[in-house]
Structure 1
């Protein structure tokens, strides 16, 4: 669970506090004192478990990468029809992102601001969702199952799912949506995209 409020051990409490502060302020804007205060511990305890802000940030990123990877469970192999893989990604991603939309904006911002730290955390994650999707799309384009540039299809698929959550504030403002109306719209978008990917990239 991303924010397990029932946790009681110090290390987990620090990570929960760090997630909240990092998501709110980003890596550059976060001070360890803020995290210690949020976790209701002293700075000494924080340094004991994580030694530095960079180490703590890396641990938080691992959890976030894992959370995004878990949006598509049961990866399976690449022998399945690529449309099934793409629909599984769309459905799982949006269903999970509805509950934690702040992750998408945070990850987008941090990839731009701290690409080296982000890549280090990603490389430590055994659920490499982008590589899995890219491989499936490349294979489908090579055998004629899909038509088009694999990189463009990959970007389209990722952006169709990520932008509505990374751009949540703008969408709610421009469309004058309440929180409830936004969630309803995202549920509708899930069904819309599931139908869209069935035919959008076929030969």
Structure 2
């Protein structure tokens, strides 16, 4: 049993690397078998197809976080707390799964409609409550006017880009992996502070 779990985990880790490098469409079962150091027959014993393997990885990573995103933005928290909570939990999730942003971006560009349908279960993110809160904050002159799309882009880009641009950032700033991850820990606080401060009148 332990051996089976070890082999299955080895396959999942190998598949993550191959999917990041080649995308869902470009990845082959042979590539994954080679990366895992096993033969293709053994790979098929554990996972019948590339699609099945993708679904398992997707469920273990993105699939677990999506319900939490909906929970955060539809909760009773005030709008600023939602930004703080999302930024902190998103960065935590990516620190645990560094392949995630590039993996999602690759698939969105290769098969946007199909991938987004899998990602959100055919529904849009539940952010209506958050958007109403932001609109009311603007109307009450609590914050300066801002298009909701700009606010969403600001939050997403400040959280996601450092992971996408990690090699370039490390070269420019002359930082190693440990220093990079420490900076990302700091960004869990800095990102929402920066966004919220930028909205103040």
What per-residue deviation string (whole Å, max 9, x for no partner) do you get for residues 127-169 of structure 1? Answer: x8x823x324311133235531111111111111011111111
Provide the alpha-carbon RMSD of the alignment: 3.3
Aligned equivalent of 1:189: 187
Cα deviation, residue 189, structure 1: 2.3
Question: Unaligned stretches of 5+ in structure 1?
Answer: none
| 1:147-166 matches, cutoff 5 A | 147-166=145-164
TM-score, normalising length: structure 1: 0.76
Map 1:13-24 onto structure 2 (within 5 A). 14-24=11-21
The answer as to 2:24 corresponding to 1:30 is no
Cα distance in 2 for residues equivalent to 1:26 and 1:91: 27
Aligned: 1:141 with 2:134: yes
Q: How many residues were matched structurally?
A: 195
Give the aligned partner of residue 56 of structure 1: 53
TM-score, normalised with respect to structure 2: 0.76
C-alpha contact 2:87 2:188 (8 A) present in aligned 1:
yes
Aligned CA distance change for structure 1 residues 15 and 116 (closer, same or farther; 3 Å): farther
CA change 1:189–1:10 in 2 (3 A) is: closer
Q: Is the 8 A contact 1:23 1:106 kept in 2?
A: yes
Aligned position for 2:169? 171
